[in-house]
Amino acid sequence: MNFLEVKVDGLALDMTTNSPVVILSPDSLDKVLPIWIGHAEAWGIAMELSGVKSKRPMTYDLLKTILSTVEAIVDRIEITELKEQTFFAKLHLKCGDKKYELDARPSDSIAIALKTGAPIYVNEELFNLEQVESDEKPPIPNDPETLRERLRKINPEDFGKYSL
């Protein structure tokens, strides 16, 4: 598998599914990878992107503290594949001389990467997916203009605290 380093381009709310969408983009391609995520995960990502700190530790703050306490380092996260409309990710940790590869949800992995400053990588093949049809989820647009056009049609008041 070839991986491309990506950045989080933002969050949006897909009104057709009422689900938050995290937008990932590599510098080397004019494509994006939208990943539909849960509201709690979107909240954690949005707080980190906006620099908002909570009064008490949230889940991702706690995970960062636990990793630091046991002297583990988040080396990187990888979004590896899409199976049956579900994205899969791996969290790569280093703890002393040991390395660990953990199965994780992309949304959790992205939030942890943002919290720890770890790089985010996406399997290059995921940027070349054909439109995926499903009764449950909309097709996945992977070019920025198609996604922008889809999100442009959404009423800005419906975005709440999410922005793109």
pLDDT tens-place string over residues 95-119: 999 999 999 999 999 999 999 999 9
In the chain, beta strands by DSSP E? 3-14, 19-26, 33-36, 72-83, 86-95, 98-104, 120-123
pLDDT band at 137 (very low <50, low <70, confident <90, very high): very low
In a domain? residue 10: yes
Q: Which of 51-55, 78-82, 105-109 bottoms out in mean pLDDT, i.e. has the lowest?
A: 51-55
pLDDT of residue 159: 42
Domain that holds residue 77: 3-159
Does 121 reside within a domain? yes
Q: Bridge-partner residues for 36, per DSSP?
A: 21
Q: Report the CATH number at residue 120.
A: 3.10.690.10
The number of distinct structural domains making up the chain is: 1
Instruction: Please report whether residue 17 resides in a domain.
Output: yes
pTM of the model: 0.79
User: Does residue 164 sit within a domain?
Assistant: no
On whether residue 32 sits in a domain, the answer given is: yes
